[in-house]
Structure 1
Amino acid sequence: MRAVAPLLIHPALLLVTLALSTALAVSVVPVAATAPVVEAGHAASGPGAVASPPFAGPDGKTGEVTSSAGPTPVAGTAGPVGGAGSQAPASAPKPIVAADGAPAGPGAGRPSAASAAGLGVQSGALASTGTLGAATVATGGASSGSADTFAGAALADRNEQLVVVVPSGAGQTASRYPLHANIVSTTFWVGEIFNANLSDGSQVCSTYDGQWAFHHTGITTGITPAAASGCAGSAYGGCDGVSSGTGAAFLCATEARTSANGFLPTRQPAPLQNAFYLDLPFDDVNDPTAFAGRCTVVPWAATLGLSHCADPGFSYLKNRWVRIVGPNGHVCYGQVEDAGPSSGALYHDAGYVFGTTNARPINLKFSGDSSQGAGMDVSPALNGCLGFTDLDGDADHVDWSFTERADVPPGPWLRMVTTSQVSG
């Protein structure tokens, strides 16, 4: 074995070494990350449910009217239900979160209450009392009628972390689109039958989806008669609210929504499409004036591709994101999924919808404000998120602007994102 000579240190050098060691002996304290503050949303006032009239009732109630004219059937999408059945959309679900749970796309990197959850993607559960053509719907089964995305069971189990309702002006990116201020907004809901005797009096279908109620809920209890004024051949029974009755006695009522479960319906399965939906009075598919001029007036038409200008199977408005400031001061987000409020041949209000002068809607109806007609309908989820005073009233006012998907912050509106295009 090789001997090692002892290490000799001069006494003065030893003192210096000890002093330096003492100075550098600093305790390292881990810095805990501050948890994001999640503000509870404001619940809509008024207990109970507000019902819509019977399916076959001769008289309609007073309220908003939304465009529900059946869109032109498009090859490869769900077709009218009139014995032939409904085909599932061909497009596959697209995840809205990355594999690590972080927001996907241009908005990646924003803090999210659901980040680091490692979420997968699955279809929402369905409940049904029947079948719709070739698409069999069974309780607890996977969706065969929706091309939209559900962000994992972990989100469903942690709804309190989904609710990120941000007060107005709380550090959010300003919209690059014009603000429409002090606009009267009413409420509508999938499955509502506003007036069975009007072509645009039912939310069983929408102007962009002839099977809206089925695609949104996965439920059908019957088919609207071919002789019906509106939504003929559409499956009914699906309801974004409280359903009751069957056949001619079917009802779909609205209800108060709260942040307790992410503003989702309390007596129905989780929606298969975004519960945060709205409409604006510009039907760029079925209104001839809007369709003819849409590639001129829609600001993002070129971005989505001008090759769609003459394609009635494509909408530049459907699924578009909108930023809304509610009566409670909260900022909530939703997607355009129908056209309204309006009536007759007024579904091409480009001056209001896309204008830069904060113009009032040309529609003068469905409003409790004598100075203007209603200019937007919002879903029950948005009704609760925005703090509307009534479940189905006409006196609430909002500020709104279009926004880009990349500028939509995390929140319950991203739990399910609607991606399907025009469907017959």
Structure 2
Amino acid sequence: MRRLSGVLLGSVLLAALAAGGLNGCSALPSLQPTPSPSAPAPSASGSVVIGSPASVGPRPSASSTKKPKPHKPTKPHKPSTPAKPRTPATPRTATGGSTSTYPWHTDIVSTTFWVGEIFDPNASDGSQVLSTYNSRWMKDYGGCDGKQSGGDCRTERRTAANDWFPTSMTPKENPFYLDLPFDDINDRTGLATRADVIPWAHEARYASILNDRNQSLMKNRWVELRKGSRTCFAQIEDAGPGQYHDAAYVFGHDDARPANQRYGGAGMDVSPAVNGCLGFAELDGDTDRVSWRFVDDEDVPSGPWTKVITRSGVR
């Protein structure tokens, strides 16, 4: 989550709300998840080659450290013992699963966040009007990723009939988004260590930007998520929850648990579209669990997550 002072946050919010109007959302083909096979079955077709390194943009203001994200006012959560790490089965999407070789992170608590949400106006990272990678996130997205109610931007239940898209606006960027607790732009440790810990850092298209803090190696990267028999894909557009350089969890190969201890020990936030696509039990809770892994652009199959792809850089 991006740091912002109380006064500046108010100004950014007013400007973003003024700029992001609510439009009608056109209906898209539905996605019907199907039961998983007993073992992973890589897709032989249906993948698309998309995305590029986040491009240079004006450097957002940054702080040397990040404060832990304050607890959302959700229902009390009774801590439970994490299930034994395991490799999940491979459910299919409408066009097949990915062929990624990145390691799986299993049984991870996932909370839900959305563009335009303000859960604590007094916290340095209490707003999704902006993200750590985009100081005008709500404006660029097209407005509140949900419904406006009494001046508040609130989430909503999504459906397969609408491809999990918002019902009251038309997003200009991908509604399938998430965050992970590694900020390679505004966190000093994240920026200083990204060349050593991010697996794709030395690929040809990223190697030339390692010393440019105005370009991110994380923004717009794809992640494959699974819950039960459902598989969905989403792009990284923010950092959190609670931690900002948890490399052992985010990039480790031993299925390490997240360092974050808030929100039920959540290891990621996902958008309302991902919440609906994966069939979360809670609209805005901290009890749903997922398994996830990184995927390269060429391993992302076609689906509702490729209807609108985010390609904007750091702003």
Q: CA deviation at 1:285?
A: 0.4
Give the Cα–Cα distance (whole angstroms) in 1 for the partners of residues 34 and 295 of structure 2: 16
Give the Cα–Cα distance (whole angstroms) in 1 for the partners of residues 116 and 17 of structure 2: 15
After superposition, the C-alpha distances for 1:251-301 in whole angstroms (9 at most, x for unaligned) are: 11111001111111112x210000000000001100000000101111111
Is the 2:110–2:290 contact (alpha carbons within 8 Å) kept by the matching residues of 1?
yes
1:308 counterpart SS class? coil
Q: CA deviation at 1:165?
A: 3.8
Structure possessing the higher relative contact order (Cα contacts under 8 Å, 6 or more residues apart) = 2
Is the 1:164–1:411 contact (alpha carbons within 8 Å) kept by the matching residues of 2?
no
Task: Describe how 1:374-389 pairs up with structure 2 within 5 A.
Answer: 374-389=266-281
Q: Does 1:187 align with 2:112?
A: yes
After superposition, the C-alpha distances for 1:379-402 in whole angstroms (9 at most, x for unaligned) are: 000000000000000000000000
Is the 2:110–2:289 contact (alpha carbons within 8 Å) kept by the matching residues of 1?
yes
2:301 counterpart SS class? coil
Report the residue type matching 1:192 in the other structure.
Answer: E
Give the Cα–Cα distance (whole angstroms) in 1 for the partners of residues 3 and 201 of structure 2: 23
After superposition, the C-alpha distances for 1:223-245 in whole angstroms (9 at most, x for unaligned) are: xxxxxxxxxxxxxxx21001123
Is the 1:256–1:391 contact (alpha carbons within 8 Å) kept by the matching residues of 2?
yes
Give the Cα–Cα distance (whole angstroms) in 1 for the partners of residues 298 and 232 of structure 2: 15
Report the residue type matching 1:253 in the other structure.
Answer: R
Q: CA deviation at 1:173?
A: 3.6
What is aligned with 1:296? Answer: 196
What is aligned with 2:254? Answer: 357
In our comparison, the structure showing a higher alpha carbon Rg is 1
Give the Cα–Cα distance (whole angstroms) in 2 for the partners of residues 81 and 310 of structure 1: 33
Give the Cα–Cα distance (whole angstroms) in 1 for the partners of residues 98 and 21 of structure 2: 43
What is aligned with 1:398? Answer: 290
What is aligned with 1:306? Answer: 207
Q: Tell me the number of residue pairs that the alignment of Structure 1 and Structure 2 aligns.
A: 250
Among candidates 58, 68, 73, match of residue 2 of structure 2? 68
Is the 1:352–1:359 contact (alpha carbons within 8 Å) kept by the matching residues of 2?
yes
Give the Cα–Cα distance (whole angstroms) in 2 for the partners of residues 409 and 165 of structure 1: 14
What is aligned with 2:172? Answer: 272
Task: Describe how 1:226-375 pairs up with structure 2 within 5 A.
Answer: 238-245=143-150, 250-267=151-168, 269-303=169-203, 304-326=205-227, 328-342=228-242, 346-367=243-264, 373-375=265-267
What is aligned with 1:35? Answer: none
Is the 1:256–1:384 contact (alpha carbons within 8 Å) kept by the matching residues of 2?
yes
Give the Cα–Cα distance (whole angstroms) in 2 for the partners of residues 396 and 82 of structure 1: 34
What is aligned with 2:314? Answer: 422
Give the Cα–Cα distance (whole angstroms) in 2 for the partners of residues 320 and 138 of structure 1: 27
1:388 counterpart SS class? coil
Q: Which runs of 5+ in 2 are unaligned?
A: 37-89
Cα–Cα, structure 1 residues 205 and 130, in superposed 2: closer, same or farther, change >3 Å? Answer: closer
Give the Cα–Cα distance (whole angstroms) in 2 for the partners of residues 261 and 177 of structure 1: 31
Q: TM-score, normalised by structure 2?
A: 0.74
1:394 counterpart SS class? coil
Give the Cα–Cα distance (whole angstroms) in 2 for the partners of residues 419 and 263 of structure 1: 20
Report the residue type matching 2:134 in the other structure.
Answer: D
Report the residue type matching 2:149 in the other structure.
Answer: S
Q: CA deviation at 1:196?
A: 0.3
Is the 1:257–1:263 contact (alpha carbons within 8 Å) kept by the matching residues of 2?
yes
Is the 2:98–2:295 contact (alpha carbons within 8 Å) kept by the matching residues of 1?
no
Q: TM-score, normalised by structure 1?
A: 0.55
The root-mean-square deviation of aligned C-alpha atoms, in Å, is 2.4
After superposition, the C-alpha distances for 1:146-178 in whole angstroms (9 at most, x for unaligned) are: xxxxxxx9xx55x125x2645442352442100
What is aligned with 2:29? Answer: 160
1:185 counterpart SS class? strand
Cα–Cα, structure 1 residues 164 and 411, in superposed 2: closer, same or farther, change >3 Å? Answer: farther
Give the Cα–Cα distance (whole angstroms) in 2 for the partners of residues 202 and 385 of structure 1: 24
1:160 counterpart SS class? coil
What is aligned with 1:409? Answer: 301
Cα–Cα, structure 1 residues 296 and 266, in superposed 2: closer, same or farther, change >3 Å? Answer: same
Report the residue type matching 1:241 in the other structure.
Answer: G
